[in-house]
Structure 1
Amino acid sequence: MKTCLIVDDSSVIRKVARRIIEDIGYEVDEAEDGREAFEKCTQSMPDAILVDWNMPVMTGLEFVKELRSYIGGESPKILFCTTENDVGHIAMALKAGANEYMMKPFDREIMESKFRDLDQK
């Protein structure tokens, strides 16, 4: 079974995203910030990561940069899920190593579509 790590400081977002991602066939783990997520990835690298931009301790962008420079960190598919919607933020996320970008608020249809896109990349 494919695995997904949800990284968001909002427990509500993690709960909603978990339900959708599990329904499309992933085993899900969660982290509240980028530092916790990075530590989890060093223990067991997920197939996909859903990550927020704005979090305490380590932001999503910092996490993606650190993960992509870590041995094995190039393999997960990374989907940013954030309220940051300007072209500059999107460009920074993709340059740092994100595969997809999705705006909050999201719904089931959008998330399922983004995960289908990830599976094809």
Structure 2
Amino acid sequence: MEEYEEILDNIRQIPVIDTHEHLVQSEDLLQGRDDVLQKFLIHYMSSDLISSGLDSEVLAITRDSERDLVHRWKLIEDYWEFCRHTGYGRALDDSVREIYGIDGIRGSTIEELGEKFRGVNRPGHMR
């Protein structure tokens, strides 16, 4: 176990800069496409959810920003828990923590996250 801790400490000191992202342009947010689930499920995390058993029709409902956020979250919550420790799930949780000050994406945080996500919907947010 001592070797593990030593290796882990060394790994944690390696600087990593990841500039690969799939951020939407500010203009997209400003044009009413500012729904947190719609944006977070536009790419890889949705594939993880499908791989964990989520039906693609349910995924489509979850991306529909005209529907209630909490209701849509409940449709995917169990699948999200299966996927939250994948690279994509962890990246989303880390981002939510760093950008919005919310401790991860879950039923108890989804409404606050949705509000904060919409609240930053103004020019310059992505900078």
Bigger Rg over Cα? 2
Q: Which has the higher contact order (CA 8 A, sep 6+)?
A: 2
TM-score, normalised with respect to structure 1? 0.30
Structure with the largest fraction of strand: 1
TM-score of the superposed pair, with normalisation by structure 2:
0.29
More helix by share: 2
